[in-house]
Amino acid sequence: INKAKTQDAFTRAKFKVSNSRDGFVELLERTKAQMVKTDSRGTIFAIEAGGRYWRSLAYFLEERGIPFRLISPFTLKRRREGEDINRRKNDYRDADMAAELLRTGKFTETRLPQGIYADLRAAYHTYYGLGRERSRATNLLSALLDSLFPEFYTVFKDISTKTALAVLAAYPSPHVIAEMSMEKFMDTMMTKYKGQYLIRKKVSAIYQAAHNSVGIHAGTGVICFEISLLVERIRLLTEHRRKVEDLIVTLVEWIPESKYLLSIPGLAHITIAGILGELGPLNHYRSG
């Protein structure tokens, strides 16, 4: 959604364009037409930096040297809440508010990352996106254990650890564990995960917890199946996140500023990736 607004706060036009090259070209043509009508000397675009569409338009404009400013979605939301008692989101009204925030100077100065800095920004967001997905999967797993095996938490405070996931992958139901002898359960676990580090004390403790479990019996077959899927997903997300972290370390090491930033206590590769991915080369900024 686009609105053409002059410095005197008068709305000249409002229209939709598609998120494509043709749509962006149409946007420029319509903007030029409004400039001619209003005898304007120039134009500047206000772009709400939220959702998944804004970045394509921002790079399109930057490549052509056309000025734009980013409007924070949080600033826009506060403006909407202040002006609309129902706080309803409306694309045309949001476009008008974004233009007004630009006119009054309430925008964000920013540089779009290029080259390795753009890769760093993308990798950083992928890393945290995978972390959020893993947290959601862990929360779903936790909800299932609340009914099937609530005592699991007395042994494992963090159910996403390697040993906890190993137990859940092999025997998610406490009732199945309780039917086994201690020796068979321990031998099975250690044989199944031979070569992998498992905390033997924890495996033994979960066997004792299974014998005193108040977990439900009804529908456990499906619940166990769901748990196995979630365990597999958490493991996969953990592995993917590790690979992205390795990529981030490689990218950061390639950047000249990294050796100085890494010398600062408390700054690690992930944090530096977030900083440089958003700011770009530090030599673009002046001190003082």
Rounded Cα distance between 16 and 2, Å, is 6
What is the dotted CATH code of the domain comprising 2-110?
A: 3.30.420
The pLDDT value recorded for residue 101 is 83
Residues in a beta bridge with 48: 71
The stretches of the chain forming alpha helices (DSSP H) are 21-38, 54-63, 73-83, 91-103, 115-148, 152-155, 162-170, 174-178, 182-192, 200-211, 220-254, 258-261, 269-279
Q: Locate 266 and state its tokens.
A: 């408390």
Contacts of 18 (CB under 8 A, 6+ apart): 26
Looking up tokens 């706080």, which residue turns up? 87
What is the assigned CATH class of domain 117-277? mainly alpha
Token reading at 143 = 């909800």
Contacts of 266 (CB under 8 A, 6+ apart): none
Crossing angle of the two packed helices 182-192 and 162-170, in degrees rounded to 10: 110
Best CA proximity match to 231, nearest among 134, 148, 129: 134
Q: What is the pLDDT of residue 78?
A: 79
Task: Determine the pLDDT at residue 61.
Answer: 92
Please, what are the averages of pLDDT over each run of 10 residues along the chain (288 residues)?
61 82 92 86 85 85 90 78 62 79 77 86 95 98 96 94 93 94 90 76 93 92 96 98 97 89 91 88 66
Distance CA(123)–CA(174), nearest Å, equals 40
Residue 87 confidence (pLDDT): 56
For 266, the 3-state DSSP assignment is coil
Task: Please state the domain extents for the chain.
Answer: 2-110, 117-277
Measure the CA–CA gap between 97 and 88, rounded to whole angstroms.
Answer: 13
At a CB cut-off of 8 Å and minimum separation 6, what does 153 contact? 145, 159
Measured in whole angstroms, the distance separating CA 234 from the mean position of its chain's CA atoms is 16
